[in-house]
Structure 1
Amino acid sequence: MKPYLICHMMPSVDGRIVGDRWKITGGYKEYERTGASFKTDGWMCGRVTMEGYAGKASFSGKAVGRNIPREDFIAPHKGKSYAVALDPSGRLNWKSNHIDADHIVEILAEKVSDSYLEFLQKKNISYIFGGKTQIDLKRVLEKLGKYFQIKKLLLEGGGKINGSFLAAGLIDELSLLLMPVADGTIGTASLFDIETPSRKKSVSRLKLLATKKLTSDILWLRYKVQK
């Protein structure tokens, strides 16, 4: 069984998600508080977001003199909460195997280098494979449930990652902190950027679950994704 997936984001009223210019007082604090209220078993982001925790310098290890089997690796760990990084090519240069109390789990493609797998093993960072060159998102979620007993997971990705999960029918709920700002910047990442040839397939119907006004005129919207 795959985990219950909640996409938790804080977009502008026009759907932009790059908020470094918005300067909304208490926005991030409210985002963290509402996210914690779901009591999930972990959270998932893409490589770009995770660089904020790992560092912007990409991994550049030397080639190793052995072939490492493309088998899932579950590192010893004590934590029961997880930080899941979608990093198919293996570029995140981690300094530790955890973020706060959350054990790091890397999602990789089999094209990743042997040197990166060795690096993760030495760091005691768990990793699972999602496919040879592309990531099978459903398969990844099923593995997270099987190996780590993750029953509920926050998705906090960029537009393309969120869009991929939505288009695959894998998001169960949306939790949106609507920021009281209109951005309007052309070319900026939006909440969902779905790369599909079919406009019909990119449309998902939602059912409103709850609304709540928070501090600084932030509106918390919760939707069930209808499937």
Structure 2
Amino acid sequence: MKPHVICHMISSIDGRIVVKHWPDPASMRGEYERTADTFDADAWMCGRITMEDFAAEGSVSKPAPASPLPRTDFVARKDAESYAIALDAHGKLNWESGAIDDDHLVAVLTESVSDAHLAHLRERGVSYVFGGKQDIDFARVLEKLGDTFGIKTVLLEGGGGINGSFLAAGLIDEVSLLIHPTADGLPGTPTLFDRPQGSTGAGAALELTHVERRDSGIVWLRYRVRR
């Protein structure tokens, strides 16, 4: 069963999502996390670039195992109360442990990753699932997360390329958007949804379901994705 996917993001009024140069970062982070908690989700999911903030710093020794490892899913733990899902197609992220805070870590990989990286994940207690040979099939991954870990609700938290790919594949059910009172205007920075190169056709139609003013001039908008 596919989990319910809520794309939960914060953006400037012009739709940009790189927040490090925005004013008032403490209140922004507080409102973002407080709002995320209202969903009581089983898991949160981010792409590789976003997940770099949580990964191990510097180089990590990853000796190759004595024999090749099978390209089958590995479950280090399936009874966690919550999960952190790292979309890391080519195995570029290294980890200190199998948890981010209290959330069990699940890496989403392709079969192109090295045996040494798989051994590293196993040694650290990180679960992993395969999404395809060279590219990730996001629909397949969601089904695995539901079937294997019992995940029912996922907060999809970017970046823009991941959000855009999920949107283009029709896998997002709701959008939760906090609009920060910042006019960014920085050219070339990611936006909420950056569809894959070569995408054509109309964007997704949304239905507004909630509007709320939050602290520090932030506005919370919720949408249902129309099918």
**1:172 maps to which residue?**
173
**1:216 maps to which residue?**
216
Task: State how far apart, in whole Å, the 2-side matches of 1:28 and 1:168 are.
Answer: 29
TM (norm. structure 1) is 0.95
Per-residue deviation at 1:78?
Answer: 4.8
> Residue by residue, what CA displacement relative to the aligned partner does 1:17-50 show, whole Å, maximum 9, x if unpaired?
0011112351110000000100000100111111
Task: State how far apart, in whole Å, the 2-side matches of 1:22 and 1:31 are.
Answer: 14
CA RMSD, Structure 1 to Structure 2 (Å): 1.4
**1:113 maps to which residue?**
114
Alignment of 1:51-70 (within 5 A): 51-57=52-58, 61-70=62-71
Q: 1:50 to 1:14 in 2, by over 3 A?
A: same
Report the 3-state secondary structure (helix = DSSP H, G, I; strand = E; otherwise coil) of the residue aligned with 2:196: coil
**Residues paired across the two proteins, number:** 226
**2:139 maps to which residue?**
138
Per-residue deviation at 1:65?
Answer: 2.8
> Residue by residue, what CA displacement relative to the aligned partner does 1:7-26 show, whole Å, maximum 9, x if unpaired?
00000010000011112351
8 Å contact kept, 1:44–1:86: yes
Task: State how far apart, in whole Å, the 2-side matches of 1:90 and 1:175 are.
Answer: 29
Per-residue deviation at 1:80?
Answer: 1.9
Per-residue deviation at 1:121?
Answer: 1.1
Identity of aligned residues (%): 53
Instruction: Indicate whether 1:126 and 2:127 are aligned.
Output: yes
Unaligned runs of 5+ in 1: none
8 Å contact kept, 1:59–1:90: no
Instruction: Indicate whether 1:149 and 2:146 are aligned.
Output: no
> Residue by residue, what CA displacement relative to the aligned partner does 1:83-109 show, whole Å, maximum 9, x if unpaired?
000001112110011011100000000
Q: 1:60 to 1:205 in 2, by over 3 A?
A: farther
Task: State how far apart, in whole Å, the 2-side matches of 1:195 and 1:78 are.
Answer: 35
Per-residue deviation at 1:110?
Answer: 0.3
Task: State how far apart, in whole Å, the 1-side matches of 2:139 and 2:35 are.
Answer: 26
Task: State how far apart, in whole Å, the 2-side matches of 1:96 and 1:184 are.
Answer: 38
Larger deviation, residues 126-135 vs 85-94: 85-94
Amino acid at match of 1:122: E
Larger deviation, residues 21-30 vs 213-222: 21-30
8 Å contact kept, 1:90–1:112: yes
Task: State how far apart, in whole Å, the 2-side matches of 1:23 and 1:78 are.
Answer: 39
Amino acid at match of 2:110: A
Larger deviation, residues 57-66 vs 186-195: 57-66
Report the 3-state secondary structure (helix = DSSP H, G, I; strand = E; otherwise coil) of the residue aligned with 2:177: strand
> Residue by residue, what CA displacement relative to the aligned partner does 1:36-86 show, whole Å, maximum 9, x if unpaired?
100000100111111111134365623333110000011136522000000
Amino acid at match of 2:155: L
8 Å contact kept, 1:58–1:92: no
TM (norm. structure 2) is 0.95
**1:186 maps to which residue?**
187
Alignment of 1:16-165 (within 5 A): 16-24=16-24, 26-57=27-58, 61-76=62-77, 78-165=79-166
Task: State how far apart, in whole Å, the 2-side matches of 1:2 and 1:204 are.
Answer: 19
**1:225 maps to which residue?**
225
Report the 3-state secondary structure (helix = DSSP H, G, I; strand = E; otherwise coil) of the residue aligned with 1:220: strand
Task: State how far apart, in whole Å, the 1-side matches of 2:94 and 2:173 are.
Answer: 31
Task: State how far apart, in whole Å, the 2-side matches of 1:216 and 1:208 are.
Answer: 22
**1:3 maps to which residue?**
3
Q: 1:59 to 1:169 in 2, by over 3 A?
A: farther
Q: 1:188 to 1:49 in 2, by over 3 A?
A: same
**1:15 maps to which residue?**
15
